[in-house]
Structure 1
Amino acid sequence: MSGRPKGAALVLRYAGFAVVATLANLGAQRLVLAGAETVDGAWLALAMVCGTGVGLVVKYALDKRWIFYDATRGARAQGAQFALYSAMGLVTTAIFWVTETAFWLVWGTDLAREAGAVLGLSVGYVTKYLLDRRYVFRAEAAA
């Protein structure tokens, strides 16, 4: 299909979607942390899990439709695909969580925590694209 982006256009679209998912992730984290009197490890973990879930769903929907042009239909097939997409994200999520937590532990500020999140998500999303292209959306990516 000629309307599919390639090269720089694909990189820009993917990066834009990564920004959207990152903002959704951080927004969800802020909502969770707004309920805490003080941010401790338990609150930070809860915020990171909630943010990761929101970011995952947003990024999957955008990638499926606008990056890989995936036409998988049916609840069972899409459920299996989302499970594989999520599994590919386990390593990349670890990159993100470790980086965000390290920045928070070293500098102890929300700005540092969010800077660590952005850095970790950036590295994670590049890795995630490569894994998704190879293992999750293989048939469409090859077209």
Structure 2
Amino acid sequence: MASGVGIALLYSLFAALSTALNIGAQMVFVHAYRGPYVIEASILVGTAVGLPLRYLLEKRYIFSFKSRNVAHDSRLFVLYSLMSVFTTGVFWGMEYAFHAIFAADAMRYLGAVLGLGAGFYAKYQLDKKYVFVRQPCEVLA
């Protein structure tokens, strides 16, 4: 694992990249789809775009973690995704609250950025404690 400052910088870079992809996917979706529940659906699409990317980047560059095999990696991704449920709730709640309060796309996206930031911080803490935990004999190859 890198130093604390290095981790913070990489994590921030990955968070910014994931946020940009999330918001970009939402914007594309809102532009392409004008049906019912467009806001809710766009939030879901944005999340679906960002989650796998964050998993791969964090697993390798933040936690220096190597899965034993595909089954182990799949279980880790499921656990990582479950940890995202709470933090995604923070993100969605803040984005939707900004949408309800201000009724403007720019403010909704600001709420998304703020919610993602708070969620990413909590997510790092949860992943460090519960997801990317090595057994005593595990070493990154």
Normalized against structure 2, the TM-score is what? 0.91
1:68-88 per-position Cα deviation (integer Å, ceiling 9, x unaligned): 111104221111000000000
Aligned counterpart in structure 2 of residue 134 of structure 1, from 129, 133, 138: 129
- Matches of 1:32 and 1:94 in 2, distance apart? 20
Q: Which residue matches 2:90?
A: 95
Equivalences for 1:68-79 in 2 at 5 Å? 68-79=63-74
Kindly state the Cα deviation for residue 138 of structure 1 after the two structures are TM-superposed: 1.0
Q: Which residue matches 2:9?
A: 12
Q: Which residue matches 2:27?
A: 30
Kindly state the Cα deviation for residue 47 of structure 1 after the two structures are TM-superposed: 0.6
Amino acid across the alignment from 1:81 = L
Kindly state the Cα deviation for residue 139 of structure 1 after the two structures are TM-superposed: 1.1
Kindly state the Cα deviation for residue 37 of structure 1 after the two structures are TM-superposed: 4.1
- Matches of 1:72 and 1:37 in 2, distance apart? 41
Aligned counterpart in structure 2 of residue 52 of structure 1, from 26, 30, 47: 47
Aligned counterpart in structure 1 of residue 115 of structure 2, from 106, 109, 120: 120
SS at match of 2:134: helix
Unaligned segments of structure 1, at least 5 residues: none
Q: Provide the aligned length of Structure 1 versus Structure 2.
A: 137
Unaligned segments of structure 2, at least 5 residues: none
1:25-56 per-position Cα deviation (integer Å, ceiling 9, x unaligned): 11111111011348x6x001111111001110
Amino acid across the alignment from 1:20 = L
Bigger Cα displacement from structure 2, 118-127 vs 66-75: 66-75
- Matches of 1:77 and 1:50 in 2, distance apart? 26
Kindly state the Cα deviation for residue 108 of structure 1 after the two structures are TM-superposed: 0.9
- Across the aligned residues of Structure 1 and Structure 2, the Cα RMSD in angstroms comes to 1.7
- Matches of 2:52 and 2:34 in 1, distance apart? 28
Normalized against structure 1, the TM-score is what? 0.90
